[in-house]
Amino acid sequence: AKQAGRNRFCFFEQSMNQRVHEHLLVLQGIDQALAEHQLFLEYQPVFDLQRDVISGAEALVRWRHPRQGLVSPASFIPIVEESDRIEALTLWVLTQACRDLRDRILPRAPGFKLSLNVSGVALQSDSLRDRVLETLSREGVSPASLRLEITETTMMRDIEKSAETLKLWQQAGLRILIDDFGTGYSSLSYLTSLPIDGLKIDRSFISQLQQSSQGPVVDAILALSRTLGIETIAEGIETQEQLQLLRQMRASHGQGYLLGRPMPVSQLRTLLEHPQPL
């Protein structure tokens, strides 16, 4: 028993060490990543499901770490979010996305809408609130071309502060989408208290669409959005059946591996020039 207890302790200690180690690697590396071009963006197309055309894309950040290789944003973003570096990262993504949009995307597709992920933690920062708008005017990109995706969970940390920032951005012409809609705790209450232009229906609902129980939920979210006059994007569409069901439910927009994986901007440009039938 003593032996087992000791092993468990060692295991615990080791995993704690690993986690601390991972945190340190990220926090020590992120400044260098920003300075030395280790970060880059990929774009996942968003489709207008009624007209069968690409209407926009979501920018997703990637980190090519010199020793760890490609690091997933799902593992490093939550760590950066706990530090003040999230602001620098958010502005880097915004600047890079604006330049790709202005120089490489909008000339081919004038009505294109680019979505960016903004951490709710960053919403709490006064300086970020202003610097987002400053960046847009400096880069010469109209706010109307951009959508900001914000997850409900991170926004709830200080709902009043979040609402203030979002209202300012919305007044400037940016559109605000709730990301991973349906996975948080009080999804419905803030639909009326926050300035929201659209919902992204979380992948967990779409992946279970065929298994009857989630069908009515997705249907209800779509009906709610129509009533509120906001747009919806169904995330994580992987199969033809899911796509067909969403079409039957009159979903307006969709995104997922079936329609297109995250890709470099050059590939997105090719896709815009030579659209593939769905």
Residues near Ca ion (CB under 5 A): 117, 149, 179-180
Sequence-ordered list of residues with C-beta below 8 angstroms from that of 137, at least 6 positions apart, any chain: none
Q: Is 180 in the site for ligand C2E (CB under 6 A)?
A: yes
74 binds, among ligand C2E, Ca ion, none (CB under 5 to 8 A by kind): ligand C2E
Q: Which of 100, 152, 179, 231 binds ligand C2E (CB under 6 A)?
A: 179
Nearer to ligand C2E, 86 or 230 (CB): 86
Q: Which of 30, 93, 114, 166 binds ligand C2E (CB under 6 A)?
A: 93
72 binds, among ligand C2E, Ca ion, none (CB under 5 to 8 A by kind): ligand C2E
Q: Which of 30, 49, 60, 146 binds ligand C2E (CB under 6 A)?
A: 60
Distance (Å, whole) CA 106 – CA 145: 9
Nearer to ligand C2E, 3 or 69 (CB): 69
96 binds, among ligand C2E, Ca ion, none (CB under 5 to 8 A by kind): none
Q: How far is the CB of 97 from ligand C2E (least distance, A)?
A: 8
Radius of gyration of the chain (CA): 20
Q: Which of 39, 44, 33 is nearest to 264 (CA)?
A: 44
Nearer to ligand C2E, 252 or 255 (CB): 255
Q: How far is the CB of 180 from Ca ion (least distance, A)?
A: 4
First-residue to last-residue Cα distance in the chain: 60
Q: Is 49 within 8 Å of 251 (Cβ atoms)?
A: yes
Which residues is 44 bridged to in the sheet?
Answer: 58
- Helices and strands per DSSP (H, E), number in the chain: 11, 9
Distance (Å, whole) CA 244 – CA 241: 5
Sequence-ordered list of residues with C-beta below 8 angstroms from that of 177, at least 6 positions apart, any chain: 115, 147, 148, 149, 150, 196, 197, 198, 199, 200, 231, 233
Q: Is 120 in the site for ligand C2E (CB under 6 A)?
A: no
Q: How far is the CB of 150 from Ca ion (least distance, A)?
A: 9
Distance (Å, whole) CA 81 – CA 90: 10
**Segments of the chain assigned E as strands:** 39-48, 53-65, 69-71, 113-117, 146-151, 175-181, 198-201, 231-234, 253-254
Phi, psi of 267 (to 5 degrees): -70, -35
Q: Is 125 in the site for ligand C2E (CB under 6 A)?
A: no
- Return the range that interacts with ligand C2E (CB under 6 A); candidates 15-23, 71-79, 100-108, 133-141: 71-79
| Element containing residue 114 per DSSP (H, E) | strand 113-117
Residues 3-42 that bind ligand C2E (CB under 6 A): none
176 binds, among Ca ion, ligand C2E, none (CB under 5 to 8 A by kind): none
Residues 133-152 that bind ligand C2E (CB under 6 A): 149
Residues contributing to the site for ligand C2E (CB under 6 A): 44, 60-61, 72-74, 77, 93, 117-119, 149, 179-180, 203, 236-238, 256-257, 262
